[in-house]
């Protein structure tokens, strides 16, 4: 079964058709810069352009960097605040003319990793953390997603965790891997105290450089790098949308 997955980020919107039985992208990803400011109507136009690129007529799964409930955004991370209260799912359906499901971006990445990546076959409590512009989180209990956890906003030393331990902070402050790992370690230990996970999966672009910082982290839970890298959001969005295909 093939479903179009689209991953909306603060800097880019990318998509590709996905074979949801194997988790493989069927073509190269097509990417368009995110409009600035990222207003709902403008983002909707880009989503429609991605779908048009593939001449897509079937179900679409789409990620969004926000708390998403029944297709409505209840927060706005790295996009315009006018998204709060907007039914993005309905907007994208109208723009593309296709049945569309909207899901939190980190939740989508976690779904992909649990199905085809580092979390495949794992039971107990698994927490995926995406370290990028911010920190996204996806929490699973025996393979079932607990949606919209937003653990990047846990307060540590008076700041959101993502203002201390994201990849953006490492780059902006030109931190050594050792210094940055100290901040990530403090964050992981806070999350571990609250949730007692069996496994941490570290995703985001920085996961490609896991050998530089994973050995510096200290938790009781196992820590592994994500395997799907930048394809995780696209694959997870498509997987989440398979319920739309079953309704056809």
- CATH number of the domain residue 198 falls in: 3.30.420.40
Q: Tell me: do 131 and 87 sit in the same domain.
A: no
Count how many residues are written for the chain.
248
CA distances from 132 to 40, 122, 236 (A): 23, 24, 17
Residue 138 inside a domain? The answer is: yes
Query: Residue 224: is its pLDDT beyond 90?
Result: yes
170/198 same-domain check: yes
Q: Which domain holds residue 9?
A: 2-107+231-246
Q: Per-residue pLDDT for 248 more than 60? A: no
| Predicted local distance difference test score (pLDDT) of residue 246 | 62
Report the sign of the C-alpha dihedral through residues 85, 88, 91, 95, in that order.
Answer: positive
Whether residues 85 and 128 fall in one domain: no
Percent of the chain scored above 70 by pLDDT? 98
The total number of structural domains that make up the chain:
2
Tally Cβ neighbours within 10 Å of residue 60.
Answer: 30
- Residue 19 Rama label (left phi>0; alpha psi -120 to 50; beta): beta
- Reported as a single tens digit per residue, the pLDDT across 28-40 is 999 999 999 999 9
Asked if residue 199 and residue 137 are part of one domain, the reply reads yes
Question: Is 175 a member of any domain?
Answer: yes
- Give the number of other CB atoms < 10 A from CB of residue 146: 15
Q: Are 3 and 99 in contact (CB under 8 A)?
A: no
Q: Is residue 207 included in any domain, yes or no? A: yes
The mean per-residue pLDDT over the stretch 179-193 comes to 97
Are both 221 and 238 inside the same structural domain?
A: no
Question: Quick one: 55 and 7 in the same domain?
Answer: yes
Mean pLDDT value across residues 226-239 = 95
Q: How large is the average pLDDT for residues 133-140?
A: 94
**Tally of CB atoms within 10 A around 126:** 25
Instruction: Give Cα 19 distance to the centre of its chain.
Output: 19
Considering the domain architecture, whether residues 207 and 150 belong to the same structural domain is answered as yes
pLDDT at 11: 85
- pLDDT at residue 247 tops 70: no
What is the average pLDDT score of the chain? Answer: 95
97 and 35 inside one domain: yes
Q: Which residue has the tokens 């976690």?
A: 110
pLDDT at position 175 is 97
């Amino acid at each position: 079964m093939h479903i179009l997955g689209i991953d909306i980020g603060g800097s880019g919107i990318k998509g590709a058709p996905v074979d949801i039985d194997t988790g493989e992208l069927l073509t190269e990803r097509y990417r368009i810069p995110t409009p600035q400011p990222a207003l709902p109507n403008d983002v909707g136009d880009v989503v429609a352009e991605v779908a048009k690129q593939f001449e897509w007529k079937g179900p679409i799964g789409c990620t969004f960097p926000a708390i998403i409930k029944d297709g409505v955004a209840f927060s706005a991370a790295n996009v315009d605040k006018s998204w709060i209260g907007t039914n993005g799912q309905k907007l994208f359906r109208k723009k593309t003319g296709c049945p569309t499901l909207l899901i939190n971006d980190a939740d989508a990445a976690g779904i992909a990793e649990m199905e085809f990546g580092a979390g495949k076959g794992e039971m107990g409590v698994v927490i995926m953390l995406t370290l990028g512009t911010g920190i996204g989180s996806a929490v699973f209990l025996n393979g079932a997603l607990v949606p919209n956890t937003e653990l990047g906003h846990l307060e540590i030393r008076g700041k959101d965790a993502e203002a201390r331990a994201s990849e953006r902070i490492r780059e902006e402050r030109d931190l050594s891997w050792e210094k940055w790992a100290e901040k990530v370690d403090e964050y992981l230990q806070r999350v571990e105290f609250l949730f007692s996970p069996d496994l941490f999966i570290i995703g985001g672009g920085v996961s490609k450089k896991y050998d530089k910082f994973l050995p510096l982290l200290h938790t009781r839970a196992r820590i592994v790098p994500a395997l799907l890298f930048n394809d995780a959001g696209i694959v997870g969005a498509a997987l989440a949308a398979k319920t739309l295909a079953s309704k056809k």
